[in-house]
Chains A and B, each alone.
Chain A
Amino acid sequence: MNELRPNLIALHTIVYREVRRFLRIWPQTLLPPAITMALYFVIFGNLIGARIGEMDGLPYMDFIVPGLIMMSVITNAYSNVVSSFFGSKFQRNIEELMVAPVSPHIILVGYVAGGVLRGLGVALIVTVLSLFFTQLQVHHLGVTILVILLAATIFALGGFINAAYARSFDDISIIPTFVLTPLTYLGGVFYSIHLLSPFWQSVSLANPILHMVNAFRYGILGVSDIHIGTAIGFMLLATAVLYLFCIHLLKSGRGLRQ
């Protein structure tokens, strides 16, 4: 029996269900990042940014816009998958998928696509908001799209791993609060690493979010603190490694099968 068509229907079903979920609870998923980012634009971009002047030869508002978009993508792609997948485990409706003839690849791609789509949806909202404060001109469209897709995919996969290991709602808030948020704030969203001492510049290079933010900033503004090829190579590698690890978790039934 040709399994392609049933698998495509199953994939469409999971993605559609994920999109329906985050659209249904839009006051929790789409509205908060819009408000938060609008505040960032007003306070950091307009009020404080006017006093800061330029960063890497760019108006401060222009400098922070790509980082803030990327920050929204990372946070939302991650939290969509972690809350949806853990919620399914918690309510046990993940069993609906486990008893059906759906391959681990389809399950994973479905959940990740949901996270990526929410990340991109929020990115679109934040981008439209930013146009009220500055004029964006995309320097390199291909790099911009590739980087935002890879970043959203990486963090959606990360959210999946978090949810697979999580046993309580505390477990799905620890990583975003204590790991993701500090790495994002220290990932060059608000500053160029050239402001740091050589030692801290080297330390910052170990932060994966720095590479994503700078690669995305390069795509939009044409400036970056790091080498773009290295950043994209790192993201491709991270995507592959995380994907394989997630498949291993699904096949072994980690947190799903007794």
Chain B
Amino acid sequence: MSSALSIRQLTKTYGNGFQALHGIDLDVAEGDFFALLGPNGAGKSTTIGILSTLVTKTSGSVQVFGHDLDRDPVGLKRCLGVVPQEFNFNQFEKVFDIVVTQAGYYGIPMRVAKERAEQYLTQLGLWDKRNVPSRMLSGGMKRRLMIARALIHQPRLLILDEPTAGVDIELRRSMWNFITELNRQGVTIILTTHYLEEAEQLCRNIAIIDHGRIVENTSMRGLLQSLHVETFLLDLKEAQLLAPELDGYPARLLDGRTLEVQVEKEQGITNLFGQLQRQGIEVQSLRNKSNRLEELFVSLVEKNLSKVAK
């Protein structure tokens, strides 16, 4: 499978001397649904900024479907669609005009632009808002408008930078259904998000960036398999005064009826339930304390933080 994105030794030092990227390497295969995760200020937006030519790189190389950023920026731009984190459309323009104008910048004839605008605005539930000035849209609608705008030239690689920030759950689900369908049709997707359960559910491969360095770059499945310990919360039927003694399972009471238990991967939970039953403790429900990816993410970032501090 050919490469949708290839980044080699990419560095960026801003004018104030801050080095945002320390020579990162990254490959995303064609057709992938890829997560680029990292804490705030890790270098995600700088990387995306360089890809979309809004930030100039200090050194290194970037290729999108073989189009080199330095040698063939026009070819690269034609393959790339970006949905930025911040709203960046004209607040006074109407929804339809914003999308059609963007098509014009890509040299798409007006007739085709109008057809595509209708198609994407309809698919994203914005067609009845087409004549509304963009500033009148809700936050979720503005996000969808940016997706429609980014798709108007039918890019092969779509980068979504925090596309669901501030979007309610229902709308988020419908957006992900739409994006998943795009991916099925062959569009390579790169996603950054703070909702790690989204990344876990949607993405096949993942890179974690922190302090301008890639600290993990693997498949989602492989990464999740490396999780050795999971923390579960057990809702108990009756309140307890003390945490029960559980052989091999560190546990503590959060409140009388909520027990936090750490379970190592090879232990499983059957034995845990057996011990609880023998002590006459009935469990009503069980849930993960945090998303599995979140636990890994935090441990990787903390590990890198201690490295950087040294």
Contact = CB atoms under 8 A, between A and B. Distances in A.
The answer on A and B forming one complex is: yes
B149 interface: yes
A99 B56 contact: no
A7 B110 CA distance: 13
A93 B89 contact: yes
A12 interface: yes
B172 interface: no
Given A257-B56, A258-B14, A96 B107 contact: no
Interface residues of B, number: 35
A3 B108 contact: no
A88 interface: yes
Interface in B124-173: 149, 153
Interface string A38-60: 00000000000000000000000
A10 B91 CA distance: 21
A88 B54 contact: no
A97 B105 contact: yes
Given A98-B53, A258-B14, A13 B90 contact: no
B104 A91 contact: no
B54 to A, nearest CB: 6
21 contacts: A5-B107, A6-B108, A9-B107, A9-B109, A10-B104, A13-B101, A17-B101, A20-B97, A88-B90, A91-B89, A93-B90, A95-B88, A96-B88, A96-B89, A96-B102, A98-B52, A99-B52, A99-B54, A100-B106, A101-B106, A258-B49
Contact of B88 (A16, A24, A93, A258): A93
A24 to B, nearest CB: 8
Interface string B56-82: 100000000000000001110110101
Contact of B102 (A6, A20, A88, A100): A100
B282 to A, nearest CB: 57
A242 interface: no
A201 to B, nearest CB: 47
B104 A13 contact: yes
Nearest to B74: A101
A161 to B, nearest CB: 21
Interface string A90-115: 01110111111110000000000000
Instruction: Tell me the interface secondary structure of chain A in the complex.
Output: helix
Interface in A236-258: 253, 256-258
A101 B267 CA distance: 56
A257 B91 contact: no
Contact of A101 (B15, B78, B89, B90): B78
Among A5, A17, A97, the most chain B Cβ lie within 10 Å of the Cβ of A17
A223 to B, nearest CB: 44
A105 to B, nearest CB: 13
B86 interface: yes
B107 A257 contact: no
Nearest to A252: B56
Contacts of B86: 92
Nearest to B108: A9
B55 interface: yes
A12 B90 CA distance: 18
B89 A102 contact: no
B43 interface: no
Among A16, A20, A24, A93, the most chain B Cβ lie within 10 Å of the Cβ of A93
A93 B14 CA distance: 22
